[in-house]
Amino acid sequence: MSAGGLRIGTRGSALALWQARHVAAALRAAHPDLPVEIVEIVTTGDRDRARPLSALGGKGVFVREIERALLAGAVDLAVHSLKDLPGELPAGLCLLGTVARAPVEDVLVLRPPLAGLAPGDLPAGTTVGTGSLRRAALLRRHAPQVEVRPIRGNVPTRLSKVEAGDVDGVILARAGLVRLGILPPHARILPASSFLPSPGQGLLGLEARADDARVHALVAAIADAEATCAHDLERAFVHRLGADCHVPVAALATVEGPRLRARANVLAPDAGAVAEATWSGPVGAAAEGGRILAERVLAAGGAAILASLAG
């Protein structure tokens, strides 16, 4: 592609490709003469779909190879699910403003005749699969009678485990199911008030080289102001907390007029302890708010939970 085009690096899963194409379409609409190419990159997380993410090295397993391609100049922009990004980015890379947020909630998809039941109403011994420590901890907190099963795989693969009878149900991000157009009609949306989502859930991380002013300007034209505020707060929260996929962490920021409100928690994996905090402030203080929110969570018991997991 010529120097005037844009190459987007992405994983090759159906959801990742949808996300990259979504961003590509927005860029083409904003810049009609801009040639955009999508480059599929295989990551460590894609190659090893059996072991838990924590055993592979955390969230970075889905992004390292893409970030290397960015730094090498093989691609100009990376599109990630924001919740897959570690709190610390490699030197020379940065996140830009993001596009509008998808639904933030988790959903519970159950086999008949359990379909539609709330987690607390499930019979004892019901098996629910998830690859997320946060979702597993929240299940243990709100539905201790349920047996949590660790699973891996892309969105269709996880749904197929219910159809095959490997598990009675799975918990997934509503955003991915909506984006792929495969949200089952019997899926139960879990309210964010009790199942607080992962930081960045429903948001896309648009990553570029820090010194690439051309790409920064191109992406600025498609950025959504409210989503970018939430993006900046939740990323600052994760960065200050220093947490990774070994820790069940949740956070959600919402814009209400000129104000930004956020809630977060850190849970012990067995849900025996939880540290919670809130913050509100002007939309212009998103990054500062994320740092303050993390400090409050740490002071409320999060530091002790993190220390126990580190030990």
3-state secondary structure of 81: strand
pLDDT the model gives residue 287: 97
**Maximum pairwise Cα distance, the chain:** 60
pLDDT the model gives residue 247: 81
Angle between helices 286-297 and 225-241 (to 10 degrees): 40
Task: Give the helix/strand (H/E) hosting 72.
Answer: helix 64-72
- From the CB of residue 181, how many other CB atoms can be counted at a distance below 10 Å? 7
Domain contains 36: yes
pLDDT the model gives residue 2: 45
Tell me which residue of 193, 248, 208, 204 sits closest to 228, measured CA to CA.
204
Domain contains 310: yes
pLDDT the model gives residue 52: 55
User: How far is residue 101's CA from residue 182's CA, in Å, rounded to a whole number?
Assistant: 18
Please list, in sequence order, all residues whose beta carbon lies within 8 angstroms of the beta carbon of residue 160, skipping any fewer than 6 positions away: none
Q: Total structural domains in the chain?
A: 3
pLDDT the model gives residue 1: 46
The first and second tokens of residue 29, run together, are 């609409």
Same domain, 167 and 246: no
Same domain, 217 and 186: no
Same domain, 22 and 32: yes
Active site residue ranges? 84
The pTM (predicted TM-score) of the whole model is 0.92
Same domain, 92 and 208: yes
Q: Are 299 and 293 in contact (CB under 8 A)?
A: no
CATH number at residue 284: 3.30.160.40
Positions in the chain whose pLDDT score sits under 50: 1-2, 56
Taking only the tens place, the pLDDT of each residue in 37-84 is 999 999 876 666 555 555 545 556 779 999 999 999 999 999 999 988
pLDDT the model gives residue 210: 98
Please list, in sequence order, all residues whose beta carbon lies within 8 angstroms of the beta carbon of residue 159, skipping any fewer than 6 positions away: 109, 170, 172, 182, 184
Distance, CA of 73 to chain centre: 26
Same domain, 46 and 90: yes
Domain contains 196: no
Same domain, 181 and 235: no
End-to-end, the C-alpha distance of the chain in Å comes to 49
pLDDT the model gives residue 282: 98
pLDDT the model gives residue 47: 63
Distance, CA of 10 to chain centre: 15
Same domain, 234 and 258: yes
Same domain, 15 and 5: yes
What is the radius of gyration, based on Cα positions, of the chain? Answer: 19
User: How far is residue 66's CA from residue 71's CA, in Å, rounded to a whole number?
Assistant: 9
Domain contains 198: no
User: How far is residue 251's CA from residue 267's CA, in Å, rounded to a whole number?
Assistant: 12
Range of the domain at 177: 106-190
User: How far is residue 141's CA from residue 126's CA, in Å, rounded to a whole number?
Assistant: 15
Domain contains 67: yes
Same domain, 217 and 280: no
User: How far is residue 249's CA from residue 134's CA, in Å, rounded to a whole number?
Assistant: 6
Same domain, 20 and 137: no
Distances (CA, A) of 285 to 120, 144, 192, 236, 281: 38, 38, 23, 11, 7
Domain contains 195: no
Same domain, 120 and 91: no
Q: Are 136 and 148 in contact (CB under 8 A)?
A: yes
User: How far is residue 51's CA from residue 152's CA, in Å, rounded to a whole number?
Assistant: 8
Number of H helices, E strands in the chain: 11, 13
3-state secondary structure of 216: helix
CATH number at residue 207: 3.40.190.10
Domain contains 213: yes
pLDDT the model gives residue 43: 81
Same domain, 212 and 251: no
Domain contains 299: yes
